[in-house]
Amino acid sequence: MLSTVLRGACGVMTDLAIHPLQFEADAGGAGVVAVMARRALVTRSRGPYSAQNPPREAMATVESIALRQSLLPESPQFTVEVDGRWPRLAVVFEQLRLLVRYVVPEDAPPVYQPKSNNVTLIGDIKIALEQVASSLEVASRQLGGQEPPIQITLSYPDDPGYEQTVASLPVEFRDVIAPVIPTIELDRTRCDPRARAAHDEALRTAMYSDQRMEPLGRNGFTTRVGSARIRDSGA
């Protein structure tokens, strides 16, 4: 179920201190893209790579994950990928149906990355994902044990109100505010009207008491969770 996938992914992102540059999930599993930590990038490598000359960045990331092994719900499988221009590390959590792909900065998706000491953004993203997971669990009880067939993607569109927001803040606090709105996009096009209505009701149950759910398009909605947003564009 997608709710189980989301909760497992949030747990691993917490345990490994991952900020997701990309995230997608459905009932079959989830995929995350993250940049390797700075401590893994102190010494950079150069190919061609081989078993005798593996990329140091990837191996340092493996070592870093191994140090956190006791926190993880299962032992992951590691695959060093060297078939592209830059080395990557694929970390598979088979039971959780989760793939985490670590990349070097040069290979990272061109999206906003917060400073390492700013955990507000990832915290709000995980809260939003947990809300979606809760809503799916509630909806499944109304749908005979079946969760609505939903797909999820994470994006970072620009915040149109960013300049106005930071203009009212002291300079020392402006770095905390991101110029983007992390958006959990729900694709509910495979939901029939009954499943969509059950999920709409379940979302309201999972939301905070002061959280507003605004209509969007024909069948969609948008709601804020701190600095993040959950949205169905209503297509």
Per residue in 135-177, pLDDT (tens digit) is 999 999 999 999 999 999 999 999 998 888 888 888 877 778 8
Q: Is residue 215 scored above 80 in pLDDT?
A: yes
Task: Count Cβ atoms within 10 A of the Cβ of residue 235 and give its class: 0-12 exposed, 13-18 middle, 19 or more buried.
Answer: exposed
Q: Which amino acid appears at position 28 of this protein?
A: G
HSE-up (13 A, CA, CB side) for residue 62: 16
Task: Verify that 89 and 166 share a domain, yes or no.
Answer: no
Q: How many residues does the chain have?
A: 235
- Return the pLDDT at 50: 84
Residue 208 Ramachandran class (φ > 0 left, ψ -120 to 50 alpha, else beta): beta
- Asked whether residue 24 is assigned to any structural domain, the reply reads no
SS3 92: strand
Q: Look at 125 and 211; give whichever has higher pLDDT.
A: 125
Task: Verify that 192 and 222 share a domain, yes or no.
Answer: yes
| Partners of residue 183 on adjacent β-strands | 155, 229
Categorize the per-residue pLDDT at 133 as very low, low, confident or very high, splitting at 50, 70 and 90. very high
Average confidence score pLDDT of the chain: 92
| Partners of residue 158 on adjacent β-strands | 180
- Return the pLDDT at 235: 63
Q: What pTM was estimated for this model as a whole?
A: 0.92
Residue 44 structural domain: 31-107
Number of domains in the chain: 2
Tokens of 100: 């985490």
For residues 189, 190, 192, 193, the Cα torsion angle rounded to the nearest 10 degrees is: -20
Task: Verify that 89 and 135 share a domain, yes or no.
Answer: no
- Which whole number is the average pLDDT over 98-114? 94
DSSP 8-state symbol, 138: H
Task: Verify that 138 and 226 share a domain, yes or no.
Answer: yes
> pLDDT tens across 33-76, in order?
999 999 999 989 887 888 888 999 999 999 999 999 888 989 99
